[in-house]
Structure 1
C-alpha cells in the first residue's frame, strides 16, 4: 500500500509539473503569426489564420519582420507561428531547433524548389516574339562567366547582373556566398532588390520586354506559374558545403546547390505545448504545388489581397483543406465563409 501511495504521489506530481509547463490554451490572447512578405507565405498564413479563428475560435494577429528576425522572434516566443518555414536553412533555425525552442510541423507544399533562373527565350529564343537565343549554350552556373555581357549590369557595364533576394532573407546570404563559391564575383554584381515584390517586378518587366535577366527565385510562386523559365544546373548537394553557404561570415564558401526544400509551419515550443489541437491541424496541411502556383498567379495578376484569396481558396477548394481538420471544425469554417 505504501508503494502504491508513493507511485500515485509521484504520478500526481509529474502531472502537476506537466500542467505547469503546458498551460491551457488561451482564447483571449492572440496567437502571433509572422507577417511574411512573399506571396506564398502571405497566402498560406492567411489560410491558417482563417481556419484557426473561424474553426477553432482562437484570435490571431501578425507581426512584421524579415526571415532572420522572425526566426529569432519565434525562438523567444515573441511570435508563435511562421506559416511557411523553409526548415533547416538558417543557422539560427538549426540552433533553435536543436535546443528545442522551435519546431517545423508538417510537409505543407511538396516539390518546392529554389535556384538560379533565366527566361527560356534567353537559351532557346522565341520565334513568335521575334527573339533570338542570346545564350544558346547556357546550362549551368559554370557557363555564366562567358555570358556576362548578355546579362550586362547597366550600372557596371563590365559585369553581368545577378538579381539576389532582398537583404534580411536567408536566401540572400546563401546566394551571396554562392557567387563567391562559383567564382563569379569578378564577372557579376550582386544586386539585392528591396523586397520580394521588387524582385518579382524586376523579373516580370524584363520577361515582358524580352530582355535577358539572371535571378534567384523559388517555387511556390506566381512567377513560375506565369512564365517559361529555365533553372540553371548547380553542383550536387553537399551538406558540409551547404553549411559554408548558410554562414555569412565564412570566408571560403564551397559550391553546392541548395538544400532540398521542406516547407513546414514553424512554431515555438510554448505554442506546441499549449495548442495540441492546432499542432494536429498544422501537421496535416498539404497544398498541391500546381494549384498553389496557379492561385498565386491569379492573386498577383489581379492585385488581390492575400486574405481575400485565402477566403476564396477555402470556399472553392474544400476537398483540399477539409481533411486537415476535424469535421466539426470544417463545418464552422464553412459556415463562417
Structure 2
C-alpha cells in the first residue's frame, strides 16, 4: 500500500512539473517576472527624453523592471500621471505646470520624488551678435541699444516676419505646452503685439533649427529659450531683461521676469508603494542644467538620439549616477553598460 502511494505521488509530481506548476525557477526570476511595467511620460522635448532613457536604463538593468514611455503633450501626459496611466514624470517644470500640479498634489493624486534640475534663465533671447556684433567675422551690431524686452519696440523691422513684413516676429513655444500660453500673454502684456506677431512653432526641434540657421547666416532672431537645450549650450545668446520678478504681478499678467524654475521628478501617488525601490532611486536622482545641456549638445554634434545621449551620460558621469544607487545595483548597471 505504501509503495502504491509512493508511485501515485511520484506520478503527480511528474505531472506538476510537466504542467509548469512546480518549477525550478529561482525566487529572483519569479519576482522579476511578476514586476509590472513602469510607465514614464514623454512630453516630446529632448532633455526630458534624455532623462527618460537614463532612468529607464537603470530601472531595466539595475532593478529588472520593464519600462515603457507614453507620448503626449504636457497637459495630456500630466493628466495620465494623475489618473495612474503614467507612473513617473522625469522633468515636470514646476512654474509651467504649477496650477495643475498643486491641484494634483492637494487631491492626493501625485507626489514629488526629487528635483531633477533648476533653471533661472528662461525668457526672450537674441543672438549676442545682434547687440554686440562679431568683429572677427565682420559683423556690425544690429541693435546696439537692445537691452530689455521693451526695447524690442524699437526694432520690429530688424526681426521682420517673412509672412507679414509689416510686423516683427517673436518665436514662441509649441502649442500644447503651458509655456506657450504664458509667452503669448507676455507679448500682449508688454505691448509687443502691436508691432510683433507671436509665432507658434511646430516643435521644440523647429525652434532650435531656426536658431542654428540664424547663427549660420548671422541673421537676427528673437524668441523664447531656456536651459537646458543644446542651442543654449552651443551658442552665445543674450537674455533680454524684464522687470524684476514680482509674484503678484506675475500671477496677474506674467509682466515680470520668470521666477526660478525647478524641474521636478513626480510620480502617481500609488507608485512608491508599488515599486518602493524605484521610488527611492528616483528620490536620489539629481542633475543640473549644465550637465543636461552637455548631453543635448552631444546629441546635436554627433547626430545622436536621446537614448544614445543617455548612454553617453552614463558612461561619462559615473561619479554622479552611482551616488543615486545602492552599490549592488550600480554594479549591475555598470555591467550592462560594458556589454
In 2, are the aligned partners of 1:89 and 1:259 still within 8 Å (CA)?
Answer: no
What CA distance in whole angstroms lies between the structure 2 residues aligned with 1:212 and 1:261? 27
What CA distance in whole angstroms lies between the structure 1 residues aligned with 2:75 and 2:44? 13
Number of positions where the alignment pairs a residue of Structure 1 with one of Structure 2? 306
In 1, are the aligned partners of 2:169 and 2:197 still within 8 Å (CA)?
Answer: yes
The alpha-carbon deviation at position 299 of structure 1 amounts to 0.6
Picking from 219, 232, 236, the partner of 1:211 is 219
What CA distance in whole angstroms lies between the structure 2 residues aligned with 1:258 and 1:102? 25
Q: Which residue of 2 aligns with 1:104?
A: 112
Q: Given the superposition, is the C-alpha separation of residues 25 and 85 from structure 1 closer, same or farther in structure 2, using an over 3 Å criterion?
A: farther
In 1, are the aligned partners of 2:122 and 2:227 still within 8 Å (CA)?
Answer: yes
Picking from 238, 244, 261, the partner of 2:246 is 238
What CA distance in whole angstroms lies between the structure 1 residues aligned with 2:251 and 2:316? 42
What CA distance in whole angstroms lies between the structure 2 residues aligned with 1:243 and 1:210? 37
The alpha-carbon deviation at position 77 of structure 1 amounts to 1.0
What CA distance in whole angstroms lies between the structure 1 residues aligned with 2:142 and 2:247? 34
The alpha-carbon deviation at position 25 of structure 1 amounts to 10
Q: Which residue of 2 aligns with 1:5?
A: none
- Give the structure-1-normalised TM-score: 0.86
In 1, are the aligned partners of 2:40 and 2:86 still within 8 Å (CA)?
Answer: yes
Picking from 152, 155, 180, the partner of 1:147 is 155
| 1:1-337 correspondence to structure 2 within 5 Å | 27-90=34-97, 91-111=99-119, 113-244=121-252, 253-337=253-337
The alpha-carbon deviation at position 46 of structure 1 amounts to 0.4
The CA RMSD over aligned residues, in Å, is 1.8
The alpha-carbon deviation at position 316 of structure 1 amounts to 2.3
Q: Which residue of 1 aligns with 2:7?
A: none
The alpha-carbon deviation at position 93 of structure 1 amounts to 1.9
What CA distance in whole angstroms lies between the structure 1 residues aligned with 2:205 and 2:87? 25
Q: Secondary structure at the match of 2:154?
A: helix
4+ aligned runs moved over 4 Å, structure 1: 24-27
Q: Secondary structure at the match of 1:265?
A: strand
In 2, are the aligned partners of 1:164 and 1:215 still within 8 Å (CA)?
Answer: yes
Q: Given the superposition, is the C-alpha separation of residues 25 and 70 from structure 1 closer, same or farther in structure 2, using an over 3 Å criterion?
A: farther
Q: Secondary structure at the match of 2:197?
A: strand
Structure 2: tracts of 5 or more residues without a match: 1-30
Q: Secondary structure at the match of 1:107?
A: strand
Q: Given the superposition, is the C-alpha separation of residues 283 and 26 from structure 1 closer, same or farther in structure 2, using an over 3 Å criterion?
A: farther
1:243-289 deviation per Cα after TM superposition (whole angstroms, max 9, x unaligned): 34xxxxxxxx2512223111111211111332222222112112243
- Give the structure-2-normalised TM-score: 0.86
Structure 1: tracts of 5 or more residues without a match: 1-23, 245-252
The alpha-carbon deviation at position 290 of structure 1 amounts to 2.4
Structure having the higher Rg: 2
